[in-house]
Structure 1
Amino acid sequence: MSQSDKAAAFAALHQKGNPVIIYNIWDAGTAKAVADAGAKALGTGSWSVAAAQGYADGENLPLDALLATAKSITAAVDLPLSVDFEGGYAEDPAELAANVARVIDAGAIGINFEDQVIGGSGIYPVEQQADRIRAIRALADTRDMPFFINARTDLFLQEGDRTKHAALLDQAIERARAYAEAGANGFFAPGLADEGLIETLCKASPLPVNIMMFSGVPSPKRLGELGVGRVSYGPGPYRAMMVKLKEDAAAVFTAAG
């Protein structure tokens, strides 16, 4: 498929009530493994890609290294690839658009794009973040492809007390609507786990909602029943593999005396 065809196929997988499953990868090898396991699309996780190369999350991985990883994945596996692009490695909309152009050149058909201030605190005001999304959409439109912008809000991740998440829901819905108007294709709300809140968000959001799996989050099947359009696993697969690797290595060293 052409890059444009992959982008269209990826967008079509996002169906409220029948979520696409993204089992997040971090290199070409894991991309092949997940593809062979039956994935319909691929998505990197920023935490995992950075950790696999010895960096902390939060745009500490050099942009060139991230782009090289994306290019190696798209060269190895013929599935749509969405890149976790954090805050886009820029605050200025023009610089941001230029960086996204490089992601497209690497073969990706979409990104996760978050509203937290990388290297700072809090999240961008809703209109400023919407302007940043508009810049990405304008750039993508020049490439004549339906580039998928999965607009992420960090409202829930930044509030560790889940009992306070209900008070944030109206803000999340406002952002979903603003990001949709700016040209986003999906709305990512990592950190949200409560079934009632997820269902309310799915009903109110004009975009398919992406929920990330972690402790306390309903099963993918249940998330589909709540109206979710995309389920992702974030750093979970990387962490699980590293635990298994350490256990296996420890067993070898112990046996060797």
Structure 2
Amino acid sequence: MPGSELYEKFMALHTRDGGLVMPNAWDGLSALMLADAGFEAIATSSAALATTLGRPDGRHEVTRGEHLEHARLLGRLTGLPVNGDFEDGYGETPEDVAATVEAAVESGLAGIGIEDTSGNPDQPIRDFDEAVNRMRSAVEAARGRIVVTGRTDNFIQGRPDLDDTIRRLTAFAEVGADVLYAPYPPDLDALVAIVTAVAPTPVSVLISPADKVLTVSELQKAGVKRISVGPALYTHAMAALEQATKALVAGDLTAATTGISFERISELLARGTN
């Protein structure tokens, strides 16, 4: 599907009534499970991907090429629009960010998220002007071929400044970002303030505000247009693995080995578009 057509299809999911729930896969089988469940689009999770590789998230330890290959796999298997959670755009300069967006378009991604993070734990959020310039570069490279999500990580990097968060998101929208995203605002009032301030640009949310997990319908009522879960499905699966390993240590083979059958796995793999 040509980039502009894929862009229109993916964007339409954000602008329709109710928007979309877009879960994050971490490997081929999880992507196929999500597709089989009926989700219309899926996303990568930089945190889940990094963890599967045994590396920390957000420290530039996963390469652009590795993430692109991962995203291509998810799209190839499912045939669904894939949104890439591409951290800060994999590069120090606006030109690097543009190159990442171009590579994502060439790889057939439907969307790409660009954060204002730096990968530097001592100064995790980039200065305002730098962040906006990088977003402008991403949008110019996209040219209506891939949905660009402008994201600020103020809240999850210990900067609980709602005014600065809204300022950043508004600036991202002004330079052309298609969707806006500030994971874990402190509460529903803050989320509504963000949605109101940047309207009509669609707003994405990671699960819920920080203080309370809401339902999909409650988030839709607040005006949210996209709901993702980041690495939460992956950590849910790892919690089940941890319980199984504890059962195995205790000698309980039944509890340790109860899970999805290989017949079901084979069925899902057979449905893949690979």
Give yes or no for TM over 0.5: yes
Partners of 2:100 and 2:227 in 1: CA distance: 26
Amino acid at match of 1:191: Y
Q: Is the Cα–Cα contact under 8 Å of residues 3 and 146 in structure 2 kept in the other structure?
A: no
Gaps of 5+ in 2: 255-274
For residues 129-178 of structure 1, the C-alpha deviation after alignment (integer angstroms, 9 at most, x for no partner) is 1111111122222xxx4311111111111227xxxx4xx22212211211
- How many residue pairs were aligned? 248
What's 1:170 paired with? 163
For residues 199-257 of structure 1, the C-alpha deviation after alignment (integer angstroms, 9 at most, x for no partner) is 11111113211111166232221111111111110111110001112223443452359
Partners of 1:153 and 1:199 in 2: CA distance: 16
Gaps of 5+ in 1: none
Query: So what's the TM-score if we normalise by structure 1?
Result: 0.89
What's 1:180 paired with? 173
Amino acid at match of 1:69: H
Residue 43 of structure 1: how far off its partner (Å): 0.7
Q: Of the two structures, which has the highest relative contact order with CA contacts closer than 8 Å and spacing of 6 or more?
A: 1
CA RMSD of aligned residues (A): 2.0
Q: Is the Cα–Cα contact under 8 Å of residues 16 and 227 in structure 1 kept in the other structure?
A: no
Superposition pairs of residues 90-105 of structure 1, within 5 angstroms: 90-105=91-106
Partners of 2:24 and 2:184 in 1: CA distance: 16
Superposition pairs of residues 25-44 of structure 1, within 5 angstroms: 25-44=25-44
What's 1:150 paired with? 149
Secondary structure at 1:223 match in 2: helix
Q: CA 1:251 to 1:13, structure 2 compared with 1: closer, same or farther past 3 Å?
A: same
What's 2:220 paired with? 224
Runs in 1 of length 4+ with deviation above 6 angstroms?
none
Identity %: 31
Amino acid at match of 1:43: A
The structure with the larger Rg is: 2
What's 2:13 paired with? 13
What's 1:251 paired with? 247
What's 1:57 paired with? 57
Amino acid at match of 2:207: M
Residue 16 of structure 1: how far off its partner (Å): 7.9
Secondary structure at 1:55 match in 2: coil
Residue 52 of structure 1: how far off its partner (Å): 1.4
Residue 122 of structure 1: how far off its partner (Å): 3.5
Partners of 2:246 and 2:133 in 1: CA distance: 50
Q: CA 1:146 to 1:105, structure 2 compared with 1: closer, same or farther past 3 Å?
A: closer
What's 1:159 paired with? 158
Superposition pairs of residues 187-198 of structure 1, within 5 angstroms: 187-198=180-191
Query: So what's the TM-score if we normalise by structure 2?
Result: 0.84
